[in-house]
Amino acid sequence: MEKFDVVIIGSGPGGYIAAIRAGQLGLKTALVEKDKELGGTCLNIGCIPSKALLTSSDHFMFAKKEAEKHGVMFDGVHVDLRKMQQRKDKVVKTFTSGVRALMKTNKVTTFEGFGTIAAPGKVSVKSSDGKTQELETKNIVIATGSAPVELPFAKFDGKTIVSSTEALCFTEPPKKLLVIGAGAIGLELGSVWNRLGSEVTMLEFLPRIAVGFDLELSNLLQRSLTAQGITFHLETKVSAVKLTNGHATVTATKGGEEMKFDADKVLVSVGRRPFSEGVCAEKVGVEFDDRKRIKVDKNFRTNIQGIYAIGDVTAGPMLAHKAEDEGIACMEIIAGKSGHVNYDAIAGIIYTNPELAGVGLTEDQAKEKGIDYRIGKFPFRANSRALCNEDVDGMVKFVADAKTDRVLGAHILQHAASELIAEAVSVIEFGGSSEDIGRTCHSHPTLSEAVREAALNVEKRALHILNR
Amino acid sequence: MSIEVKIPAVGESISSGVVSVWHKKSGDFVNPGDALFTLETEKVSTEIVAENAGVLEAKAAEGQEVKIGEVVAIIDDSKVPEEIPPAEKKATIGEKKKQPIPPETKAPVASKQKSTGAEVLSPAVRRIVEEEHLEPAKISGTGKDGRLTKGDVLAAHPEEEKEDRDRQAEPGTERFIRKKMSPLRRKIAAQLVMAQQTAAILTTFNECDMSAIQELRAKSQEGFTKKNGIKLGLMSFFIKAAVEALKAVPVVNGRIEEDDFIQNNFYDIGVAVGTERGLIVPIVRDADKKSFAELELDIAGYAVKAREGKLKIEDLQGGTFTISNGGVYGSLLSTPILNPPQSGILGMHKIMPRPVAIDKKVEVRPMMYLALSYDHRAVDGKEAVTFLIKVKECIEDPKKLPLDF
């Protein structure tokens, strides 16, 4: 039997990136994936297809509502949803087959089947035809990701009560879509179907949307999405979902008052849970925390020698890029080099329009930690390029240490926030200050000038607004 | 061809040093063996010499902290001194600076120097450095790969120092004086804290009656001195006693490295020596194989070298156990701090005539307290106590030592 240096279970962004890095480092590597396609949730039923639909539906909104402001007139703008979905599928296919090619070029052996840890150093792969194969390896990396959380009173049926997986594949826009949970996934898919014609209502248990992001910007996002036609009910607790003839009646309470909602589809997007069942980590003695996440040290080692874990199945934000960076660092550590992930410099993004992006501390977190901080803000309505683009919704906000001026957090609400945030991530990674950004020449006219202006506003010397 | 001058590898606990003085300037022609600069580490300052002839190009500023393996200079051996008449020398150097450095030499230097934090400055750091006339090379960076952050340079702001100076200027009013610790002192401080935080340090005590050794020394001194040209000191006895005890309790002669324990089967004993610059610990190699005379000669040799500042880094690295004698300063009792990654350190103290009970009668004997600090992660209490009793027994009854005089 051939012996591997490392066997990675799960081919999502954590697993497949780890496999590439392992290949680069000359490790004899195997990648085990239970599904037919590589790429895991992110590529197949997560980040990638949702972004494909978000962009397509955003183009539709532009054609329908924005184009005429530019003097571009369309007649009879309409959506061919079948074509839109086909394009989405093509994007996914292109990406997953690209990953398969990358495995070949990096000399990674892929195994299709359900990977379980038989013992430290032993992974058995059970393929769909029932055959089992044993792999011997020096190291095992658990990268099995996460799965949507199910509500006990609203079990997924794949038709009316759905998770994000099905909500990406509707063949027609539901007339009434009810979304439970106003986090990144709910807001994004709610946006897609709102744009494509659904009447979207979002119920959120907490008094705000987009938990984890800066409150001020989250509130602004809520205002924008409300203007786009989405109805929000905050501090609303869903207690029952009743199905009759493929329709749902959702019962909820808000401030002691009972409310009822009719819906054709109910999207449950209340979070994701680590997906670790079946991998048998517990059988070989791997420790879990109280939230069923695999416990690892800062070198991604579990308590069992030779078994590592990365990504959503461990603690920390459930983000593809966090998993990727952990995968890279983990392989470098296994190869005897030093690998490191800076958790203070990992951005979170919601791809609505405007997009909401944030990295580092929010203003509330800085306050809670008792940090002496300063804020710098700049609205896009004072930015030249945003005006040219007719895209002035949103702002940039910095949280900087009052004494050292170090950038502690950056938050952007804008159509292109996901791209703009990268500058702030780099500066945080390098321990830079708001003045560092303020003293860096930004091209004109660009949206990035607003980032610089917000940084300048920390020291109250932004140029295109009254500094307060 | 250009040859890189790198900071040589030093002891296991030393990762960096400070270029304290350049003895040659950029543009100077150097010959092999010429002292280029003095490298100060937390334990020793040593002169780094040129290994080949050529024209020197210094890459590190005086006072700059440098990492082991870092390129601090380049010696270009394609240039010979005769070609540069003294009068034109300066101009040539000036021109040379402007010339683009060939890529094959520049690339590795640039990539290795990024860790110094003083090469490329961020815009805010650049502004403060210029406005406040700071020397970036003298500030240590906390940013990525040791780069300077705005916070670092703000902390190094001379304004505060100026305020301090102003405060001090009024005679008789100062209640305290604040000044920056030298890089060396800061290093020592960090090293000591590291030792305290890394190991589980515990100290066990005992005492020994020095009469037998004092008697033996008095009896043998004349013959020993005549034969070996050196006096028979106390230290050789303690080194030999420590070796005997280490053989009896080997775990004290080992060290912890991450999840592993490494057992040393050689006996390189560090002997702490106080100097003007602070405490240094030269290593007596293979102490088990050396005669008493060789041990005394080794120690005396190190003392001379230390006084003249000629100790080399290799004189200080790789010890397996340390002996520290606070007694020379009059210390009666102390708890020594381990010298990482070692697992034990023996503390010797002042010999004092004290009343002790001998055969149920009080007698006054020359007594010394002994202390053994040990890393409790590796060494059990029983082992530590056994070790110290073994030392005590060897000292009180020197016949137990391999006497060779």
Domain final residue, candidates A226, A245, A270? A270
Residue pair B153/B141 in contact by the 8 Å Cβ criterion? no
Contact list, B154 vs chain A (CB under 8 Å): 403-405
Integer CA distances (angstroms), B88 to A419, B30, B84, B94, B96, in order = 55, 18, 7, 10, 12
Residue pair A458/A398 in contact by the 8 Å Cβ criterion? yes
Number of domains chain A contains: 3
Indicate the residue of A403, A429, A435 with minimum beta-carbon distance to B124: A435
pLDDT band at B67 (very low <50, low <70, confident <90, very high): confident
As a whole number, mean pLDDT of residues B117-135 equals 81
pLDDT band at A403 (very low <50, low <70, confident <90, very high): very high
| A23 shares its domain with A135 | yes
Distance between CA B153 and CA B157 in Å, rounded? 6
Cis bond leading into B103, ω under 30°? no
* Mean pLDDT, chain A, whole residue set: 96
Residue pair A56/A134 in contact by the 8 Å Cβ criterion? no
Contact list, A406 vs chain B (CB under 8 Å): 149-151
As a whole number, mean pLDDT of residues B24-49 equals 80
Residue of A437, A439, A456 to mutate, interface with B, max B Cβ within 10 Å: A439
| A306 shares its domain with A421 | no
Tokens at residue B167, please?
Answer: 């405060």
Tokens at residue B263, please?
Answer: 């057992």
User: Percentages helix, strand, coil for chain A, rounded to the nearest 5?
Assistant: 35, 30, 35
| A331 shares its domain with A355 | no
| A137 shares its domain with A24 | yes
| A236 shares its domain with A330 | no
Task: Give the model's pLDDT for residue B278.
Answer: 67
Task: Give the model's pLDDT for residue B134.
Answer: 86
CB contact under 8 A, B124 and A405: yes
Domain CATH for A404: 3.30.390.30
Residue with tokens 């009469």: B211
pLDDT band at B28 (very low <50, low <70, confident <90, very high): confident
Q: Which contiguous run of DSSP H or E holds residue B257?
A: strand B254-257
Tokens at residue B45, please?
Answer: 């300052």
Contact list, B127 vs chain A (CB under 8 Å): 435, 439
Task: Give the model's pLDDT for residue B76.
Answer: 84
Contact list, A439 vs chain B (CB under 8 Å): 123-124, 126-127
Secondary structure (DSSP) of A256-303: TEEEEEEESEEEE-S-EEE--TTS-TGGGT--B-TTSPBP--TTSB-S
Task: Give the model's pLDDT for residue A1.
Answer: 66
Residue of B nearest to A401 (CA): B151
| A141 shares its domain with A277 | yes
Indicate the residue of B126, B144, B151 with minimum beta-carbon distance to A404: B151
CB contact under 8 A, A404 and B154: yes
Tokens at residue A28, please?
Answer: 């004899």
Contact list, A430 vs chain B (CB under 8 Å): 122, 143-144, 147, 149
Cite the beta strand spans of A158-279 per DSSP E: 161-162, 176-180, 199-203, 231-233, 236-244, 247-254, 257-263, 265-268, 272-274
| A218 shares its domain with A335 | no
Three-class SS state of B128: helix
CB contact under 8 A, A432 and B124: yes
Residue A349 per-residue DSSP state: E
Identity of residue B216: L
Residue of A nearest to B123 (CA): A436
pTM: 0.62
Report if residue A154 sits inside a domain: no
Report if residue A281 sits inside a domain: yes
Cite the beta strand spans of B41-192 per DSSP E: 45-49, 54-58, 65-67, 71-76
Contact list, B143 vs chain A (CB under 8 Å): 430-432
Question: If you count residue pairs, one on A and one on B, with CB atoms under 8 Å apart, how many are there?
Answer: 53
Rounded to the nearest angstrom, the minimum Cα separation between A434 and chain B is 8
As a whole number, mean pLDDT of residues B272-285 equals 80
> Closest Cα partner for A56 from A160, A176, A188, A158?
A188
Which residues in A have their CB inside 8 Å of a CB on B?
401, 403-406, 429-433, 435-436, 438-440
Domain final residue, candidates A238, A270, A302? A270
User: Percentages helix, strand, coil for chain B, rounded to the nearest 5?
Assistant: 40, 25, 35
Report if residue A153 sits inside a domain: no
| A244 shares its domain with A310 | no
Residue pair A378/A386 in contact by the 8 Å Cβ criterion? no
| A28 shares its domain with A10 | yes
Query: Which of left, alpha, beta for B152 (phi over 0: left; psi -120 to 50: alpha)?
Result: alpha
> Closest Cα partner for A397 from A352, A426, A363, A445?
A363
Phi–psi pair at A434, nearest 5 degrees:
-65, -35
| A119 shares its domain with A141 | yes
Tokens at residue B393, please?
Answer: 């027994």
B376 is catalytic: yes
Q: What's the farthest any 2 CA atoms get from each other in chain A? A: 71
Report if residue A467 sits inside a domain: no
pLDDT in tens, B310-346: 777 788 888 999 999 989 889 999 999 998 889 999 9
Task: Give the model's pLDDT for residue B249.
Answer: 96
> Closest Cα partner for B395 from B235, B284, B285, B286?
B235
CB contact under 8 A, A406 and B149: yes
Report if residue A468 sits inside a domain: no
Integer CA distances (angstroms), A466 to A264, A379, A382, A463, B210, in order = 49, 11, 11, 8, 83
Task: Give the model's pLDDT for residue B138.
Answer: 83
- Provide the chain B residues 98-127 that lie in CB contact (below 8 A) with chain A: 122-127
Identity of residue A181: G
pLDDT in tens, B70-106: 888 888 877 665 444 444 444 444 444 434 433 333 3
Distance between CA B238 and CA B173 in Å, rounded? 49
Distance between CA A39 and CA A25 in Å, rounded? 21
Tell which wins on pLDDT, A443 or B62. Answer: A443
Contact list, B150 vs chain A (CB under 8 Å): 404-406, 432-433, 435-436
Give me the numbers of helices (H) and strands (E) for chain B, helices first please: 10, 19
As a whole number, mean pLDDT of residues B336-362 equals 93
Q: ipTM of the assembly?
A: 0.71
Among residues B286, B380, B397, B404, which one is catalytic? B380
pLDDT in tens, B140-181: 888 888 889 999 888 886 554 444 444 444 455 667 878 777
Three-class SS state of B48: strand
> Closest Cα partner for A202 from A273, A272, A269?
A269
Three-class SS state of B366: strand
Domain final residue, candidates A296, A319, A341? A341
Distance between CA A65 and CA A391 in Å, rounded? 12
Rounded to the nearest angstrom, the minimum Cα separation between B324 and chain A is 36
Give the structural domain span for A310: 3-148+273-341
Domain CATH for A307: 3.50.50.60
Where do the domains of chain B lie, and which CATH numbers do they carry? 2-115 (2.40.50.100), 123-186 (no CATH), 199-400 (3.30.559.10)
Contact list, A405 vs chain B (CB under 8 Å): 124, 150-151, 154
| A393 shares its domain with A414 | yes
Residue of A430, A437, A456 to mutate, interface with B, max B Cβ within 10 Å: A430
Q: Is B206 exposed, middle or buried (0-12, 13-18, 19+ CB in 10 A)?
A: middle
CB contact under 8 A, B151 and A433: yes
Whole-number percent of chain B with pLDDT over 90:
41
Asked if B146 has any chain A CB less than 8 Å from its own CB, the reply is no
Answer whether residue B63 shows pLDDT above 80.
no
Report if residue A138 sits inside a domain: yes
> Closest Cα partner for B381 from B344, B348, B340, B347?
B344
Report if residue A463 sits inside a domain: no
Task: Give the model's pLDDT for residue A324.
Answer: 98
Rounded to the nearest angstrom, the minimum Cα separation between B107 and chain A is 22
Report if residue A310 sits inside a domain: yes
Indicate the residue of B126, B127, B150 with minimum beta-carbon distance to A404: B150
Catalytic residue ranges of A? 444
Distance between CA A388 and CA A383 in Å, rounded? 9
CB contact under 8 A, B124 and A439: yes
CB contact under 8 A, B122 and A406: no
* Mean pLDDT, chain B, whole residue set: 81
Residue of B nearest to A402 (CA): B151
Distance between CA B62 and CA B133 in Å, rounded? 16
The Cα angle at residue A123 between residues A118 and A127, in degrees rounded to 5: 105
| HEC letters along B185-217 | HHHHHHHHHHHHHHCCEEEEEEEEECHHHHHHH
Phi–psi pair at B111, nearest 5 degrees:
-70, -30
| A240 shares its domain with A262 | yes
Rounded to the nearest angstrom, the minimum Cα separation between A108 and chain B is 31
CB contact under 8 A, A431 and B127: no
CB contact under 8 A, A403 and B154: yes
Among residues B34, B76, B288, B376, which one is catalytic? B376
Indicate the residue of A432, A438, A440 with minimum beta-carbon distance to B149: A432
